[in-house]
Amino acid sequence: MTRQPILAGNWKMHLTKRKASALARDVAATQGMATGRECMVFPTFVHLDHVRRNLKGSNVKLGAQNCWPKKEGAFTGEISPYMLRDMGVDVLLIGHSERRHLMSESDALIVEKVKLGLKAKLEVMLCVGETLEEREANLTFEVLARQLKALKVVKPIYFDKISVAYEPVWAIGTGLTAAPETAQKAHQECRRVIGGVLGPEVAGSIRILYGGSVKPDNVSALLSQPDVDGALVGGASLTIEQFGPILQAAPSA
């Protein structure tokens, strides 16, 4: 089954309003109206509207890095997925390792975010991945299975709104990257687990991205793996000089 690759830039807590707007324009110009791949950017909340305006007219999707799993209420400092949709957001990034390990987000909280994000009619990209300690203890597949259980709440009407990003925690921002064969094994296992949760047809169609120190010089080797359907890019997505070649490295669907 052919799966259209996704190239996504997670800008994390970086850039000023001016730089985020300029980068959005550059990404839109580089992506153009290209077919055969999808492009997404995830700026910080305060830059969402500025980035949205500078993506106008392109087919680049606007993403948000997080949400709170309530429609509204007394949750000071939090953002509802319904508010994000109202801002023009297309995609939610849920369960990023920095949320899990720095902000102590539990699997149960992540499940609620996935559920409400989909109910708010947003696409959801669920992040999963193991720490170095878990990998060294041969717990990678066990961790992935536990984290992917969040997909149990996904109803059939939302199956085409879900993607997964495999991000080994030990490779995020460290300069270390999983070897293409290592990434393939993890992606293959994710697909096997998804088949058990949502069925083989969904497992065959869902897109699973690799994230973790993706750069122009390693993205093609990663994308060449049969179960790697794109890349979630961190630091290298912050300049068009690095993100541009990554966007153009995506194979045609």
Nearest to 210, CA basis, from 167, 162, 163, 252: 167
**Mean of the per-residue pLDDT values for the chain?**
94
What pLDDT does 178 receive? 83
Average pLDDT over residues 65-74: 98
Kindly name the residue from 47, 96, 105, 123 that is annotated as catalytic. Answer: 96
Tokens 């007394």 locate to: 74
Whether the per-residue pLDDT at 65 is higher than 50: the answer is yes
Pairing of strands 91-94, 162-166: unpaired
The reply to whether 167 belongs to the active site is yes
Please state the three-class secondary structure of 215-252 as a single string. CCCCHHHHHCCCCCCEEEECHHHCCHHHHHHHHHHCCC
Residues linked to residue 62 through DSSP beta bridges, in sequence order: 41
pTM of the model: 0.95
Give the C-alpha separation, 216 to 206, whole Å. Answer: 24
pLDDT band at 252; cut points 50, 70, 90: very low
pLDDT band at 31; cut points 50, 70, 90: confident
Nearest to 126, CA basis, from 46, 246, 207: 207
Give the C-alpha separation, 2 to 15, whole Å. Answer: 35
Kindly name the residue from 38, 123, 167, 187 that is annotated as catalytic. Answer: 167
Go through the domains of the chain in sequence order and give each one's CATH number. 6-249 (3.20.20.70)
Residue 200 corresponds to which amino acid? P
Query: 97-143 pLDDT, tens per residue?
Result: 999 999 999 999 999 999 999 999 999 999 999 998 999 999 999 99
Query: 183-218 pLDDT, tens per residue?
Result: 999 999 999 999 999 999 999 999 999 998 899 999
The reply to whether 142 belongs to the active site is no
